[in-house]
Structure 1
Amino acid sequence: MTYQGYLIDLDGTIYLGKEPIPAGKRFVERLQAKNIPFLFVTNNTTKKPEMVQMRLAEEFGIDVSAELIYTAALATVDYLDEKALGKKVYVIGESGLIDTIREADYIWEEEQPDYVVVGLDTAVTYEQLAKATLAIQKGAHFIGTNPDKNIPTERGLMPGAGSLIALLETATRVKSVIIGKPEAVIMDGALKKIGLAKEAVVMVGDNYETDIQSGIKNEIASLLVLTGFTQKEDIPNLPVAPTHIVDSLDDWQV
């Protein structure tokens, strides 16, 4: 099967934490050699596209422009702009998320924000969670950047943004609006950015719950690669099969 363009996950697909996945690099190089459009679509909000670009080049030897990296932080700003409830926001997250939102002219507010945005923060404190809880209870619109329960790393599966969001949903009894994969917000933004119809692209990733479900839920073909979150033994129990499954991206012909 040939596709005009590729939407590609990063962690678990192109690298695993700090460890490279060599087949991922070779896959990107094949796309580049054939001038096939692609866009990295990542739920990771801890780094801005320019930082991701630098990391790909310096740590993994993959040279791409920052324009080819679409993060859940960028999709979150698109959602905030469209929702237009106000400009005051309280954010739990790292610099990639906070800086992206602030650069979009949103104002930091801890007591009475219009929005509470929650992403991954590996140094999160109880006080931050308390402030978010109180603000949501007061009526702030609760946004979760992405539902990832875990992050695949060289150490194993670590807590992800979805774990923090679940904690706050429990504390507030309020369901968050999720921006990242597998939701339509980020996928619609990705299709707009790559400039192709959903029928023309395939979503490539290692995580059935996010990457592959983003294809299934949004009527986009999916390619599951078994190098990260979802394992071969999980396949028989998947409720809806991915369009394609490969052990390694070396097995996929572009």
Structure 2
Amino acid sequence: MAKIAHALDWPLVEGVVSDLDGVVYRGKAAIQDAVETFQDWRAAGIPYCFVTNNSTHSAGDVVAKLNSFGLEITEDNVVTSAVTAAQLIRQSHPAGTRIYVIGAPSLKKAIADAELEITDENPAVVIMGLDREITHEKLRIAVDAVLKGAQLMGTNPDLLLPTPTGFEPGAGAILTAVATAARVKPIIVGKPEVHMIEAALSRLGTDRASTLMIGDQIPTDIQAGKRAGLCSVLVTTGVPPVNDPTLQAPDFVISSLKQIPSAR
């Protein structure tokens, strides 16, 4: 069970790893309490890094969006699932490997920048991210490739994403369709896996015991934080919490980042 957020319970906060959607903003709308909290952390010299499962935005896109909200950050403050996916593929595949990509231009760019060939002909890997122009034909090609031996990889398993007016299906929804049809278990790049968390920690240079992981989703953000050994904080400004006893509970549940003592 998560703790009640009393000031004396909190660890010393020397660094922050945070999700974006549902924490700092919902769709195009900033969550003002969160923006002000990160501004306070910056003024106090507390480093932070954003980790996003959303492969539809590049690090540059995230920087531009957060700068427009009044947060002064650079690409060093952002780890994306698209770039992390490309890096993971290159760890086990050489340049020129054939990759079938379902996703946004930012995911395709990350794959191309890693010297991988994007094609729908005999791919060795099918990588899937959020695709708001998904079609049955794209799903057919993916399923057929996986059944012929291609590795299935997903940028993230998020089934639901918050929007300014409600929610929309996430990348995990279409990934699940392909995985179910092909009867395989996909490799997951983003949260709840720790690949992006580890990358963020290496940039922050902070101790795990004094670094927070903040997110709005228990199945992804909180599980990643717990697996990485961070104090995990669920903020209830995004996707409604999932009541699943098989998942590790967050250390704290808050309704505003301003409830974190170091943010006051």
Query: TM-score w.r.t. structure 1 length?
Result: 0.93
Equivalent of 1:36, from 46, 60, 79?
A: 46
2:251 corresponds in structure 1 to 243
1:93-132 pair list within 5 angstroms? 93-132=103-142
1:190-235 deviation line (CA, Å, top 9, x unaligned): 222323343331101111111111112232210111111134xx67
1:67 corresponds in structure 2 to 76
1:207 corresponds in structure 2 to 217
Unaligned runs of 5+ in 1: none
SS at structure 2 position matched to 1:122: coil
CA distance in 2, matches of 1:10, 1:238: 25
1:80 aligns with 2:89: yes
CA distance in 2, matches of 1:161, 1:64: 26
- For 1:200, give the aligned amino acid: S
1:144 aligns with 2:154: yes
1:140-187 deviation line (CA, Å, top 9, x unaligned): 111011010010111212100000110001111111000101102222
CA distance in 2, matches of 1:173, 1:14: 36
SS at structure 2 position matched to 1:212: helix
Query: Does 191-200 or 15-24 show the bigger shift?
Result: 191-200
CA distance in 2, matches of 1:99, 1:236: 36
Q: CA deviation at 1:39?
A: 0.2
Query: Does 222-231 or 114-123 show the bigger shift?
Result: 222-231
RMSD over equivalenced CA pairs, Å: 1.7
CA distance in 2, matches of 1:40, 1:55: 13
CA distance in 2, matches of 1:13, 1:140: 35
CA distance in 2, matches of 1:164, 1:196: 36
- The alignment-based identity, stated in percent, is 35
CA distance in 2, matches of 1:210, 1:203: 11
Query: Does 234-243 or 141-150 show the bigger shift?
Result: 234-243
CA distance in 2, matches of 1:137, 1:85: 22
1:114-193 pair list within 5 angstroms? 114-193=124-203
Equivalent of 1:91, from 73, 98, 101?
A: 101
Judge conservation of contact 2:17–2:197 (CA < 8 Å) in 1.
no
Q: CA deviation at 1:17?
A: 1.2
SS at structure 2 position matched to 1:193: helix
Q: CA deviation at 1:85?
A: 6.0
Cα distance change on mapping 1:224 and 1:138 into 2, 3 Å: same
SS at structure 1 position matched to 2:261: coil
CA distance in 2, matches of 1:239, 1:113: 34
Q: CA deviation at 1:120?
A: 0.3
SS at structure 1 position matched to 2:130: coil
1:20-70 deviation line (CA, Å, top 9, x unaligned): 110110111011101111100110100110011111222x23221121110
Judge conservation of contact 1:111–1:131 (CA < 8 Å) in 2.
no
CA distance in 2, matches of 1:173, 1:197: 40
- For 2:34, give the aligned amino acid: G
Judge conservation of contact 1:116–1:140 (CA < 8 Å) in 2.
yes
- For 2:87, give the aligned amino acid: D
